[in-house]
Amino acid sequence: MPVDFHLSPQERAIRAAAPAFASGPLNQSKETYMKLQHHHERFQANRPVYREAVAGGSLLEAAITVEEMYAVEPSAALTIFGTGLGLTPSNLTGVANWLEKGAPGLATTAEWQGNKWVLNGEKIWATNCAGWDFQGADLQCVVCRSINPTASLSDDPTASIMILLVISADITANDPDAFRVVRHISTAGHTSCSGPHVRYTNLSVPAGNVLCPPGTGAAILSASFDCSAVLVSAMSVGIMRAAFDAALAFAKGDNRRGAVDLLFRKAFADLLSGIKMHTEACRALTWKAANCLENGPGDYDARREWALSAKIFCSDACTKVVMEAINAVGISAYNTDKPFASLLSTAMVLPIFDGGNVGIQRRHMQELMAKPTYDAWASTYGPTSSSS
């Protein structure tokens, strides 16, 4: 990407095609699932649009697509993007306390028994993990803790972290109770998504299902959060954009029975211009993070700092921006025929999911800055002479 942010022909093509899918099949999926009462039923109604979705390309291309879809219909969009987030892999919940020395560690465990691994434990909020029929997804990447003696001997908690692949055939080959949905979660936003509470009980998987052996899982998991952090930033931009568009449309259609349009009122104009500036700044940060993570400059630590910064800054800004739009519109924003309540319900989860900003993302930034080799501006200008 050139510094002036001109998109490539491929990126422009994606930018042109994504709105048609968002306003067409994606929005139609919402019209269908909103007729259903329960969230897990709404999730199943998204299956047709899920089959139509096409993914691939660079991280920046993915960010462009995410923004376009989130600006129209976040819930069905997350069901589509959640597969990518789950297979990065990130079938994990909570903060990083399980990596503290002396802590009990990750609750989901894997034990080597004969010629197979045996899974036990529970997960919650793992998007799409139960599949369309709630009998288990076609493929799960399960982050777990090896409880075999060789992994348990180390005082380094990361030495026992591994990632196992669980496919639907594995679940079928086990007892019926080996994989169960304990309960479906109803959420304030993203009301057609599935992130249920699930339980693994002596679920056996073959030896060949090891994606990351003990000792390598934590590093892979951390890197997966870096990529998905950029996409959460793009989700935030999509929500902010939708809030701006809705507030602008309100201003053009309602003067509150005054002598001049709302856009000529300083208070309203100031709020709206602030929303626009935050949205543009967050988009620029998201695009920079996507480009830098894949292309540099700097080493991986320098490049991932942009991803962490983008996720924290954009998702924190998103809730504030939506509230500014609500304050600008006033009491009419509380009407259900306006999108603001739905936008706020969606925005509030962005700082706390996919690696919470306080528990995970800021801690990763803290670790980077604390390193003796930390080079603050390497990801902008390349390594400094003192660190090269």
Angle value at C-alpha 143, between 129 and 201, nearest 5 degrees = 70
Q: How far is CA 23 from CA 58, 74, 222, 309, in A?
A: 23, 12, 34, 30
In 3D space, the residue among 295, 302, 275, 293 whose CA is nearest the CA of residue 368 turns out to be 302
Q: How far is CA 3 from the centre of its chain?
A: 27
Residue 263 to residue 273: CA distance in whole angstroms: 10
To which residue do tokens 């789950």 refer?
86
Contacts of 229 (CB under 8 A, 6+ apart): 289, 307, 308, 310, 311, 354, 355, 361
> What gap in Å lies between CA 143 and CA 225, rounded to an integer?
13
Q: How far apart are CA 293 and CA 382, in angstroms?
A: 13
Helix (H) or strand (E) holding 203: strand 197-206
Identify the sign of the CA torsion 212, 373, 59, 39.
Answer: positive
Is 354 a catalytic site residue?
yes
Cα gap 75→86, rounded to integer Å: 16
User: What is residue 307's three-state secondary structure?
Assistant: helix
Catalytic residue from among 170, 226, 354, 375 = 354
Q: Are 224 and 78 in contact (CB under 8 A)?
A: no
Q: Which residues are catalytic?
A: 354
